[in-house]
Amino acid sequence: MSLGCLDSVLSIFRVLSCKRETGYEALTEATSACQPACEPYEYEPLPGDEYTRLLEFQPGRGIISCKLLPVSIENARGTYEAISYVWGDAADTIDITCDGMLLSITQNLGDVLRRIRGGQEPRLLWADAICINQNDKKEQGHQVERMGRIYENASRVLIWIGKDDGAARRLLKMPFVPQNGGRLPEDTRVWNSVRNLTEHAWFGRVWVLQEVGLAASALFLYGDFWMDWCELAKFILLTSLHSELAHYTNPDVSQRFTQTYHSLWKAYSNPTSWRAELTSITKGFLDNQVAYIDILENGRRYQTTDPRDHVYAFLGHPAARLQDGRQIVTVDYKKSVDDVYFETARAMIENGPHPWMVLATVNH
């Protein structure tokens, strides 16, 4: 392993060891003893298909309060942050107030909203569970088709892993490593924390591939710990590219991450991206033409609650576009899983450059 490569790894460790951000201080929610009696929230229809809702998140303490604002997806470019997270247990919910009415969200989404609640001014956010009417399948389909643009247009994506279970705290205490040579940390608890981090459910969720892949920049939040997503991506790529480092992390996770970068993220066409900072790590990667079937094959390794999302979660990728600009399939959650898969396979056979590749990926 070259000294330059080792220096790169060690510099990333220094970032991992000390990053905190005063603008993202964790706040303890002073929950009121009695929540206000409110009517359940009722969504107003969006003005058109090219619209979404932004969450105007109010500062302060007590019950989480927000407003929903309908906006044009294009006109809202760069004015909001989008949240990437795991929904968690659908039965584990909390109530927030939205436009003066009660809205239930999962505990994990509530945790990230409390985590970023600092400041004196309202904050514009986008979170799917709030900004999309989950009870309207037609709207849900329209919004999912535009999900890639929503994340691409965000000023930044906030990646929420969850509350600190002790691993983040150990990462913060990672010992300083000299830049010029020296030994990597030998504390197995530290390395176990790094390994456990990459095995978190967020890293295995299919939707995050698009949410992060199309981000202009991203911030990684884990309890009170934070870091630039690009720094973490550099570290994982380095450990997967050098066998002498692989035993420090889960090699399966590192290899999956590298393959995802190579076959999916690198092929995204968004002009502003965190990927620009990884050129020194990835300059040896080949620029292969990526077909939609390749993306679906890679996506099999990732988890989703709804099997149809193994197709829908990648519609923001350039390979999902036909020659006339249309998406390869139309999002429709009223269709069965079999129908969605059949229509996708037929579209790839009829329009793809190598239709036989579809048959080559069939599971028997």
**How far are the Cα atoms of 82, 146, 312, 359 from residue 337, in angstroms, in the given order?**
28, 20, 11, 18
Q: Give 103's strand partners.
A: 96
**Whole-structure pTM over 0.85, yes or no?**
no
- Pair of tokens at residue 356: 């036989």
53-100 pLDDT, tens digit per residue, is 999 998 888 889 999 999 999 999 999 999 999 998 888 999 999 999
Determine the pLDDT at residue 288.
58
DSSP string, 307-328: TTHHHHTTTTSGGGB-TTS-BS
CA–CA separation, 321 and 315 (whole Å): 8
Q: Where are the domains of the chain?
A: 3-20+159-282, 51-154, 292-360
Say if residues 256 and 237 touch (Cβ distance below 8 Å). no
Determine the pLDDT at residue 120.
80
- The DSSP bridge pattern shows strands 123-126 and 101-106 to be unpaired
CA–CA separation, 215 and 80 (whole Å): 12
Say if residues 84 and 162 touch (Cβ distance below 8 Å). no
The CA-CA-CA angle for residues 149, 83, 20, to 5°, reads 130
Determine the pLDDT at residue 3.
45
Determine the pLDDT at residue 284.
56
**How far are the Cα atoms of 69, 148, 158, 358 from residue 317, in angstroms, in the given order?**
27, 8, 20, 18
Q: Give 160's strand partners.
A: 221
Determine the pLDDT at residue 287.
57
Residue among 200, 279, 231 nearest 14 (CA): 231
What is the pLDDT tens value at each position of the chain, 364 positions in all? 544 554 554 444 444 444 444 343 333 333 333 344 579 999 999 999 999 999 999 888 888 999 999 999 999 999 999 999 999 888 899 999 999 999 999 999 999 999 998 778 899 999 999 999 999 999 999 999 999 999 999 999 999 998 877 666 666 555 433 344 445 556 666 667 777 777 888 988 999 999 999 999 999 898 888 888 887 887 777 777 666 666 666 767 777 777 788 777 877 877 788 888 777 666 655 555 678 888 888 888 899 999 999 999 999 888 888 888 888 999 999 999 999 999 998 888 888 666 666 665 666 5
DSSP string, 64-103: -EEEEEEEETTTTTTS-EEEE-----TT-EEEEEETTEEE
Q: What is the DSSP letter of 301?
A: T
Residue among 237, 276, 283 nearest 8 (CA): 237
- H-only helix segments in the chain: 3-18, 107-115, 128-131, 137-145, 147-153, 167-172, 188-198, 208-213, 229-241, 243-246, 251-263, 279-282, 292-299, 309-312, 337-351, 356-360
Residue among 251, 249, 190 nearest 225 (CA): 190
164-183 pLDDT, tens digit per residue, is 776 666 665 554 333 444 45
Residue with tokens 């028997």: 364
Determine the pLDDT at residue 358.
67
- Pair of tokens at residue 97: 């107030």
CA–CA separation, 189 and 230 (whole Å): 24
Determine the pLDDT at residue 24.
39
Determine the pLDDT at residue 181.
47
Q: What is the DSSP letter of 176?
A: P
| Dihedral over Cα of 87, 90, 93, 98: its sign | positive
Task: Name the maximum alpha-carbon separation found in the chain.
Answer: 64
State the chain's mean pLDDT as an integer: 79
Say if residues 248 and 177 touch (Cβ distance below 8 Å). no
Calculate the CA 80 to chain-centre distance: 15
